[in-house]
Amino acid sequence: MLRGIYNSSSGMLAQQSRMDTVSNNLANVDKTAYKKDLTVFKAFPEMLIRRVTDDGQGIIPPGSYDTMPFVGNLGTGVEVNEKFTQFVQGSLQKTANNFDVALEGKGFFVVQTERGNRYTRNGNFTTNKEGVLMTHNGNPVMGENGIITIKKHNFRINERGEVIINGDLDRNPRQTVGDNNEWKNPIVIDKLKVVDFEHIREIKKEGNSMFKETIHSGPPIPPKNYKVYQGFLEKSNVNIIREMVDMIEVQRSYEANQKSITTHDTMLSKLINDVGR
Given a cut of 50, the residues of the chain with pLDDT beneath it are 56, 63, 173-178
Q: Which of 191, 112, 110 is nearest to 155 (CA)?
A: 191
- 161 and 191 Cβ atoms separated by less than 8 Å: yes
pLDDT of the residue at 178: 47
- 209 and 121 Cβ atoms separated by less than 8 Å: yes
Predicted model pTM: 0.79
pLDDT of the residue at 176: 46
Q: Which of 17, 16, 22, 83 is nearest to 255 (CA)?
A: 16
pLDDT of the residue at 91: 93
- Residues in CB range of 152: below 8 A, 6 or more apart: 127, 131
Q: Which of 36, 98, 92, 48 is nearest to 72 (CA)?
A: 48
pLDDT of the residue at 220: 93
CA-CA-CA-CA torsion sign (199, 205, 211, 216): negative
pLDDT of the residue at 255: 92
CA distance 263 to 261: 5
Distances (CA, A) of 68 to 74, 85, 150, 195, 259: 16, 46, 79, 59, 33
CA-CA-CA-CA torsion sign (73, 77, 83, 87): positive
- Please give the single-letter amino acid code of residue 15: Q
- Residues in CB range of 80: below 8 A, 6 or more apart: 13, 14, 17, 18, 39, 40, 41, 42
pLDDT of the residue at 43: 78
pLDDT of the residue at 194: 95
243 three-class SS: helix
Q: Which of 136, 132, 164 is nearest to 149 (CA)?
A: 132
- Residues in CB range of 83: below 8 A, 6 or more apart: 17, 21, 37, 38, 39, 40
